[in-house]
Amino acid sequence: MRNAILRKVLHIMLAVFAALVLAGTVLAQQQNDRKPASNLLVRVLQAKGILTDDEAAMVSQASTADEAEGRLARLLLSKGIITQADYDQTVGSAVVQASADGAARARIVPAVLRLPASSGGSVASPDAQAAQKPAPAPVIPAVAPIRVFPVDPPKREGLVPDLKVGPVRLKPYGFFKTSVVWDSSSPKGDDFPLPGFIAPGLGGSFDTGPDSVHEFHLKARAMRLGSNFEWVDPSPKVAITGRFEFDFEGNFSRASNRNISTIRSSMAGIRLAWARVDYAASEHVGIHALFGQDWTPFASSTLPSLLETTGLGVGFGTLYERAPQARFGFTYNAGGSRSVKFQPEVAVVLPSYGNLPGGPDAGAALGLQLGFGERQGVDSGRPEVQGRIVTQFRLDTADGVPPAQLIFSAMQGERRVIVRAADVPAAFQAAFPNGASARSSRNGYTAEVQVPTRYATLIAKYYNGEDLRFYFGGQLFSPFNDPTGLSGVVSAGGSGNIDGSAPILQFATDASGAPVVVPQRPVRSSGGFVNLGLPLSRIFSADPSGRNNAWTLYLHYGIDFAKARDVRKFTAAGTGNRVKSDLASAQLAYKLNNWVTFAVEQSLYRTRAVTGTTPAGATILLPLFRGNRSREEHDLRFEFGTIFTF
């Protein structure tokens, strides 16, 4: 397939360059100052989806035709359409030609196509045959951000498939990662880090025992598989695409036969499963709709480059999620020298909360529900509404640098907790004969940037909101009962909440003596991260065709705050609780080739405890860590991994 595509590209290039030769001596006399015209080859490659709009614009913005041809050749090389040998054979170089008065002057020779030896011949100009030095090697690309959503809409028949099943085109992809991990403190026994001062089990304490619990792990379950899809529609303005992706990072099965061989029982879980329809309304406007499970518009647009992908900084300032949704938006291509694009989107998303199981019937609730606390969102009777607006532009127009993005997102949702009549405490049965319920809201907003340049790539995010547990923020706290100003507080009996999750609804009397439901409040929080990628090989001018062309250093810092005032309200006197966690890490990665990468990451995960007094005035003691009252719990983590990509 690749060779067929290459032959088609080469034949088209032959036709273009033959037309240039037939243009005559006038074109030859204007060789040095000619400007790149609309290039047939670029348009064909753009229409086929081999070149993106930004890449086509980068080629077209070249100051001379020779520069444009060089940029195009380097792009085809970086995409694997042509090999290094093809590149060396097809791109001309500068030669020195004697002038009429005997002086030497430099002249750029147009790129001349040579067919591979297997094609049965070659075409070359006399100047190209006289070239004395090889074509310049391609540049080392800048660090590319992790892009989980496209601003450039997919083009009809733009997917170059590896497989075809009837009208469906498929292009599989994936990676497999094995890593060796050592933690200075991992009291929960997980092979990924979580904020400190979390009880090892339900009803447990924060204490780690006589020491900080050093742990060694060798992870072999980080395997991700997926495929991109395209269904070719008869309309030339419609593109129908899709993606399915899963990995083996799911929970362990609860089946009893796993008690003997637990480490081999990780299960596959769906990450992404969506289909998308794009309609080219005009030259500058594209409309799209997506249906299925995808990255949420709120908070998920920027992700840090971390070797630890099981947790990916959960509770330490990352903030992201994937959820079922119906998303609608459009893309406006303003064009210009910076290739500016705008993309606003709005989505209705499944309202999910992921609260912990609790109450007397917690064990049964685990068996009855697909996920913890999912009913609380859907019981609100309304979707979660999310929105995002993206501005994309080329900040650095150098070769190998992707465009920058400025992103703003927001969301609003609601949960509802229900208690059945039989579980209402006896003293409140008369006031709530049919049962009771309480609601709380979830709100949030983010500001995110992705700024690639030739020598550094900055990714940053700031977020603020309430009840962000499902998005891995707010120190992973669920909403809490707030009995401030109330008396005679009693929790629901029997099974507790109808979904069996915490916190259990409570009842009390207000200042006038009237029975009321204790309100449940969300925990307010804020945080974010800064991730800096440095292409060491490019910075130190390594040979792009050598083995040292892919060294990259990533520096990362993330932090997540829960509002201390909220944490104090639900922290019992003498127990202590977490309030803030941060992460600092450095990763050195070496890409052996397009398929194999080695990386080593050293990180420090820290959690701070809340201090002060409860609303009732009781002193909050520091939690236990290594058997002692401690203000901070930390984990010095080392990880070495090998990633095989396909």
pLDDT, tens digit (0-9, with 9 covering 90-100), for 365-400: 444 454 545 789 999 999 999 999 999 999 999 988
**The pTM is what?**
0.79
pLDDT at residue number 74: 77
Say what the pLDDT of residue 52 is: 76
- Quickly state the pLDDT bin for 501 (edges 50, 70, 90): confident
User: Residue 354: its pLDDT value, please?
Assistant: 82
pLDDT tens figures, 575-597: 889 999 999 999 999 999 989 99
CATH T-level topology, domain 163-645: Porin (2.40.160)
Q: Can you tell me whether residue 218 is helix, strand or coil?
A: strand
Least confident range from 257-261, 310-314, 337-341, 410-414: namely 257-261
454 HSE (CA, 13 A, CB side): 11
Report the pLDDT value the prediction gives residue 373, as an integer from 0 to 100: 52
pLDDT for position 297: 98
Query: What is the predicted pLDDT for the residue at 127?
Result: 43
Tell me the per-residue pLDDT of 84-126, one tens digit each, with 9 for 90 and over: 666 665 654 433 333 334 433 333 333 333 333 333 333 333 3
Binning pLDDT at 50, 70 and 90, where does residue 230 land?
very high
**DSSP letter assigned to residue 264:** G
First to last CA, the chain: 17
pLDDT reported for residue 83? 64
Tell me how far CA of residue 277 lies from CA of 164, 229, 274, 412, 639, in angstroms.
20, 12, 10, 26, 41
Q: Which residue has the higher pLDDT, 151 or 108?
A: 151
**What average pLDDT score do residues 175-203 get?**
85
**Closest among 88, 85, 92, 102 to 126, alpha carbons compared:** 92
Beta bridge partners of 394: none
Q: How many CB atoms lie within 10 A of CB 65?
A: 19
Domain with CATH 2.40.160.10 in the chain: 163-645
Ranking 189-203, 453-467, 558-572 by mean pLDDT, the lowest is 189-203
pLDDT band at 249 (very low <50, low <70, confident <90, very high): confident
